[in-house]
Amino acid sequence: MSTVKTLGLLGTGVIGAGWAARALHFGVNVVAADTIPEMEAWLRSAVANAEPALARLITAPLPPKGQLSFTTDIMQMARAADFIQENIPEQLELKQRVLGDISRHTRPGVIIASSTSGLMPSDLQRSMQLPERFCVAHPFNPVYLLPLVEIVGGELTTAATLQTASDFFRFIGMHPLRVRKEIPGHLTDRLQEALWREILHMVNDGVATTGELDESIVYGPGLRWAGMGTNLIYHLAGGESGMRQMLAQFGPCLKWPWTRLEAPELTDGLIDRMVEGTQLQAAGRSIRELERLRDDYLVAIQQVLRQYNVGAGATLRAVEDRLFADASKAAQQLVHDQSGPMRVLTTQVRPEWIDYNSHMTESRYLQVFGDASDALFVRLGADAAYRATGRSFFTVETHLTHQLELNVNESLYVTTQILEFDAKRLHIFHRMHRAHDAALVATAEHMQLHVDSNVKRTAPMGPEVQAQVERLAATHAKLSPPRERGRSIGLKRVG
């Protein structure tokens, strides 16, 4: 559990809004400060635009959303925050002055981090009070979806500050990468700049258009980079001998005059080519339209990578495992207080779930109910550690009813009621509800068998799981039985 209850944001542009959306989604309150009052409306719009993608990215139970507030009083934000993230323009003197000012209005233990993409932390912390609690935390756009954050300490930064900052970013679903030495541009931007310089040279020399160069990444190395970085990919290129063979075979190419380390002069002609090329690629789509397209495929890629536990998918899996564990603990504590069916899952209808009638397709109802069953099992204690012992639940019978239709991006939730159980069986009933009006959308009745792969047959539940089932079932026994329970399909005979 994070000790950061309120995140203070200094600056509310694209990066600041991304931090706000991510933190709010993980239940952290946000106090955003900007000297321009009109930025409040822009910030709230940007956060709202990010919410559909975030809702699809995380399938595990989340805490209640944090509250967003806005102020033009920077010092008010500094006094209210448990952690501060600075996102103002990349001007060293401006950052030094503002960081120094806010450091005198925060509590001593509050970490102050900068989103700077290239400035050195030792330079930034010079004017600060208690500079040892300062670090760079450089994110990547969109901050609410991309998990990478580069953590860089300055000469006066303590190890405890770096660790505490890393723990907070991990709590909000990020991958903190500790940079060993402070250098201008940190790690990722230096790599990106090398690629960017080559792009500018090739456009300037008429070798390729911006679209052709983007295609050279999108259809090739970009796909590989999503799960493995350049170094591991090149290790594979060396065959069984790995990187050593790769360098022996292709190392001499490094002496060839392929690349240019210095960027070309940004002439009006080159600028025009870059602008015309990217406008052609945008094909009339607005920035918001392109942002939604980008968000959709970033969600899909990370969810695919999650299945293989690599790259950003490993970060997503780790934070979801933690959220499921937290939900399980909370459910065990509240199991005696359940006055109705337990809400086990909240999600959203994704674009790929839509059928030819523009509604959620039939198979996705079963998928959602299956996810709800998994969430219930975790709350009962049948989590990943339990499954690692070879024990789990197996569905032997299912009955679905469809009551209403769901449209793309509509939010929904599932509640679960235990109907019956014994040592080896669990009879459960799910209800799917539309979030905005709680209307019943569909129901699912399942019979689950508890199995043990070690003996390859049904087996009694573990005592800790059965104890949770007994407690919840005792509470649910007071509820009315579902109207759809035990229904069969058939035509009524007349006459």
Pair 413, 346: CB distance under 8 Å = yes
The predicted structure's pLDDT at residue 52: 85
Examine the domain organization and report whether 199 and 159 are in the same domain.
no
Q: Which residue has the higher pLDDT, 53 or 60?
A: 53
Give the least confident one: 126-135, 237-246, 480-489. 237-246
Cβ neighbors of 404 (< 8 A, separation 6 or more) are: 434, 439, 440, 441, 442
Whether residues 31 and 169 fall in one domain: yes
| 78 contact partners, CB below 8 Å, separation of at least 6 | 8, 84, 102, 105, 106
The parent domain of residue 428 ranges over: 338-476
Instruction: Give the Cα separation of 188 and 81 in Å (integer).
Output: 29
In a domain, 26, yes or no: yes
Same domain, 170 and 236: no
Half-sphere exposure of 229 (CA within 13 A, CB side): 5
Considering the domain boundaries, does residue 493 fall inside one? no
Nearest Cα neighbor of 172 from 44, 88, 83, 99 is 83
The CATH number given to whatever domain includes residue 64 is 3.40.50.720
Torsion of CA 371, 293, 148, 125, to 10 degrees: -130
Segment holding 475, helix H or strand E: helix 463-476
* Residue 295 in domain: no
Picking from 284, 408, 383, 250, the residue whose alpha carbon sits closest to that of residue 328 is: 383
Confidence at 1, pLDDT banded by 50, 70, 90: low
Q: Which secondary-structure segment (H or E) carries 327?
A: helix 311-334
Residue that terminates a domain, selected from 125, 152, 178: 178
Residues 14 and 158 in one domain: yes
Does residue 385 belong to any structural domain of this protein? yes
Backbone angles phi, psi at 342, to 5 degrees: -80, 130
Question: CB–CB of 84/78 below 8 Å?
Answer: yes
Distances (CA, A) of 463 to 382, 456, 460, 468, 480: 11, 19, 8, 9, 28
Whether residues 472 and 433 fall in one domain: yes
The whole-angstrom separation of Cα 61 and Cα 369 is 15
Whichever domain contains 432, its CATH number is 3.10.129.10
Does residue 197 share a domain with residue 159? no
Give 83's strand partners: 7, 111
Q: Specify which residues 30 forms β-bridges with.
A: 7, 68
Q: Choose one of 144, 178, 212: the last residue of a domain.
A: 178
- Quick one: pLDDT at residue 138? 97
Q: Which residue has the tokens 């250098």?
A: 183
Interval 271-288 mean pLDDT? 87
The residues facing 343 across adjacent strands are: 415
* 169 and 241 housed in the same domain: no
How many angstroms separate the most distant Cα atoms in the chain? 92
- What is the mean predicted confidence (pLDDT) over 59-81? 93
Do residues 19 and 61 both lie within one domain? Answer: yes
**Average pLDDT score over the chain:** 90
Please state, in angstroms and rounded to a whole number, the distance separating the CA atoms of residues 16 and 4.
17
Residue 55 predicted with pLDDT over 70 = yes
450 is a domain residue:
yes
Place of tokens 């956060």: 47
Q: Quick: pLDDT tens for 415-447.
A: 999 999 999 999 999 999 999 999 999 999 999
- Reported as half-sphere exposure (CB side, CA atoms, 13 A), residue 413 has a value of 14
Please give the model's pTM, rounded to 2 decimal places.
0.77
Q: Which of 153, 178, 203 is the last residue of a domain?
A: 178
In a domain, 322, yes or no: no
Contacts of 147 (CB under 8 A, 6+ apart): 173, 174, 175, 312, 315, 316
Three-state DSSP class for residue 432: strand
Helix axes 230-237, 243-250, angle to 10 degrees: 80
Length of the chain, in residues: 495
* C-alpha angle 398-303-17 in degrees, rounded to nearest 5: 125
Domain-embedded: residue 485 = no
Q: How far is CA 260 from the centre of its chain?
A: 36
pLDDT category of residue 241 using cuts at 50, 70 and 90: confident
Domains held by the chain: number: 3
Are 464 and 390 contained in the same domain? yes
Residue 334 has pLDDT above 70, yes or no: no
pLDDT in tens, 373-414: 998 998 899 988 899 999 999 999 999 999 999 998 888 999
Amino acid in position 456: K
Is residue 421 situated within a structural domain? yes
Q: What is the pLDDT of residue 336?
A: 45
User: Helical H runs in 205-310?
Assistant: 210-218, 221-225, 230-237, 243-250, 268-282, 287-308
Per-residue model confidence (pLDDT) at position 344: 87
154 plus 39 within the same structural domain: yes
34 & 121 share domain: yes
Q: Which residue has the higher pLDDT, 495 or 310?
A: 310
- 113 with 59, same domain: the answer is yes
Q: What CATH number did the domain enclosing 234 receive?
A: 1.10.1040.10
